[in-house]
Amino acid sequence: MVLMDVRLVAIDIDGTLLDSRGRIPGENVAAVEAALDAGVRVVLVTGRSFPFARAVTGSLPGAVSLIVSNGAIERTMDGRTVARRMLARDTARGILARTRAFRHHSAVLFDREAEGHVVAETMDWDHPHRRGYWEKHRHFIGHAEPLEEALTEDPIQVMFNGDVATMRAVFSSLEGLPGVSVCRTEYERRDFSLVDVTAPTATKGHALAWRATALGLEPRHVMAIGDNLNDLEMLEFAGVPVIMGNAVDALKGRGWHETAAHDDAGVAAAIHRWVLAD
């Protein structure tokens, strides 16, 4: 086995670090600790916002950092901000105008850890795919009608969620639009999908490249682990791209390394195989 010269490990959260119950397997925690002990940096790179990412990663060491909201914000575990890549509020207004037909699926996310972190206009929070989110995070959710009234400052992103077919329509209406980055995450078996619109530099791939450069590392020193479409750019950047056994089909067939599924502690297996080389 060839020992990879990995000095930075980037790990997606949902479908990757977390198992299907939304928990971090103990093996993954131990592997992250072992990587840190070996002098390897570890960063979580997720579509979740900071408070929602921090809520599920408390069992990890404080040395782990977080790139959240698909690359828009980078923070330490204790909340210190390292980088912010905000979406201009006028651009956000344009996105909302362009997607008015999808207003029931729309929300705007702000860099706040209080009510108004997420603001929606006509979102149905009783929908089965949203009810759990509402019950866990209702104290972060605000309301504005029209939604444009919430844009008193630059937001992190405009986001959409709903069934796969509707979100593909949203994505198609925004794909290739100048001045923004548009990414989607799909869970076809659940018929649920998300579309996130952020600043052009607020992507997982750009943020990971920025972090690697700040550490004096080249792509060959970076291993990225992911499972969904919003992980594509960071996987393409990494010299050691690893997809989960439960990854969406669109990530397969690219010649990338594959590890075990999230329910089988695939992150731990990848770290031990390509970083620690046990």
Q: What is the CATH number of domain 89-198?
A: 3.30.1240.10
Tell me which amino acid residue 125 is.
Answer: W
pLDDT by 10s per residue, the chain, length 278: 345 799 999 999 999 999 999 999 999 999 999 999 999 999 999 999 999 999 999 999 999 999 999 999 999 999 999 999 999 999 999 999 999 999 999 999 999 999 999 999 999 999 888 998 899 899 999 999 999 999 999 999 999 999 999 999 999 999 889 999 999 999 998 999 999 999 999 999 999 999 999 999 999 999 999 999 999 999 999 999 999 999 999 999 999 999 999 999 999 999 999 999 85
- List the one residue out of 187, 185, 184, 226 whose CA is nearest residue 208: 226
| 59, two tokens | 């069992």
How far is 260 from 243, CA to CA, in rounded Å?
9
Q: For residue 158, what pLDDT is reported?
A: 98
> pLDDT at position 211, please?
97
Fold of the CATH domain 8-85+202-274 = Rossmann fold (3.40.50)
**Residue 278 has what pLDDT?**
56
Amino acid 236: pLDDT: 98
Residue 2: the pLDDT is: 43
Residue 5's pLDDT is: 93
Distance CA 148, CA 75 (A): 28
Whether the predicted model's global pTM rises above the 0.85 cut: yes
Rounded to a whole number, what is the distance in angstroms from the first to the last CA of the chain? 10
Q: Domain boundaries in the chain?
A: 8-85+202-274, 89-198
Is-contact 10 234, C-beta < 8 A? Answer: yes
How many C-beta neighbours within 10 Å does residue 117 have? 21
